[in-house]
Structure 1
Amino acid sequence: MEEYNILRMQDRLKEYLTRDRFIHTQGVMYTATALAMCHGEDLVKAQVAGLLHDCAKCIPTGKKLKICKKNDIALTKWEEENEALLHAKVGVYIAKKKYGITDPEILNAIRYHTTGKADMTPLEKIVYIADYIEPGRYKAKNLPEVRHLAFQDLDETMYRILRDTILYLSGSANTMDPSTTEAYEYYQKLHNERKGANT
């Protein structure tokens, strides 16, 4: 198993993020670690993925696009049109290049923390959920209930978050990434199957 110097990573990351973004990142790291502890997943991987999930967030959009072009990072139409989606793929590149991360589980957790996808691994779900429920978050609907649920059932929490996200975005000008739609359909089906089995 790879060894990671979390403190050194934090010190380095602090140079590239705004103060608020760094505080958020620490919140995600601690929340992801707590969720991993609760659900029997790898604590170190959760720490590293939580810490680095937004490592490319504060890079200007133009530079993110240049990094993608220079390093043959394929972008979907949705990613090209929505700046907020770019940092996930660029984050994978930065995690490899600047922080020496090679573990595919960690890299995929960074990759999918914004859009989600169908049939996510436990670590991917943990980082996605931690990003939504960390202590600095306060605007999302039903947050106390979702926080409580996260420590009981990751799949049901994914369904709740994705459902609320889609309801929120449907009332705005933002377009929906297909991966998010696929994730919602997957976890909605799981939710309905489990609900049916319990009736």
Structure 2
Amino acid sequence: MSEQEYSRKYFPGTRTELLAKVKNSVSNKRYQHILGVEQAAVRIAKLNKFNIEKASIAALVHDYAKERSAEEFKKVITDKNLDADLLNWNNYLWHGVVGAEIIKDELHIENEEILNAVRRHTVGAENMTILDKIVYVADYVENGRVFPDVNIARTLAYSNLDDAVAFETKHTLEYLISTNGVVYPDAILTYNKWVVK
């Protein structure tokens, strides 16, 4: 994806300018992950004949707010009158759902399809757009990821997007349950929609 390909319809600047803002917001390790997610997202978008620019921007900003403090997230939740239940959760959920508000304010990205893809990239949703699925899956299969069955996940990501969503959702829930992790209720809805046939 080259900066000339950005139309400025979704982000008021070039890809190079967006990269600089993202790099300034996160650690180098996180930035490398973000670049990997963009690479995977663009590949998946091409395979699914989806808008490359939207996929690139959504991937580049999906973790933009990942390293913000709990205090900052809580302030945004309160100031923007978001669902008060969000205060009971943590960064895993906040950096997507609340992060989208930070992205809107700081990067001036107004496109709801892009913002929703950020909101949904950690736990998915019952109803997911193609862009939601692209970012959700790209975040899971980017080349820096190492986990059992990652090669199966990548094969699915580049062959059948819905199957990739189902695989990721099932395996993420299995992991949370096996480690006695807390499961956000929307993750169950995602599971029921995409995994249960």
Residue identity matched to 1:91? G
Per-residue deviation, 1:99: 1.1
Measured in 2, the distance between the counterparts of 1:171 and 1:100 equals 40
Q: Structure 1: 5+ residue runs without aligned partners? A: 193-199
2:134 equivalent in structure 1: 126
2:52 counterpart (39, 43, 58): 43
Cα deviation per residue 1:109-153 (whole Å; 9 max; x = unaligned)?
A: 0000011011211100000000000011112x2110110111111
Per-residue deviation, 1:85: 1.0
Cα deviation per residue 1:14-45 (whole Å; 9 max; x = unaligned)?
A: 11101111111111111111100111111000
1:66 equivalent in structure 2: 75
Match of 2:25, SS state, is coil
1:91 counterpart (75, 96, 99): 99
In angstroms, what is the RMSD of aligned CA positions?
A: 1.4
Measured in 1, the distance between the counterparts of 2:131 and 2:118 equals 10
1:196 equivalent in structure 2: none
> TM-score, structure 1 length as denominator?
0.89
Could you list the structure 1 runs, at least 4 aligned residues long, displaced by more than 4 angstroms after superposition: none
- Whether the 8 Å contact between 1:32 and 1:46 is mirrored in structure 2 is yes
Residue identity matched to 2:25? Y
Identity among equivalent pairs (%): 30
- Whether the 8 Å contact between 1:133 and 1:146 is mirrored in structure 2 is yes
Measured in 2, the distance between the counterparts of 1:90 and 1:149 equals 29
> Which deviates more from structure 2 when the two are superposed, residues 7-16 or residues 41-50?
7-16
Aligned length: 188
Q: Structure 2: 5+ residue runs without aligned partners? A: 1-6
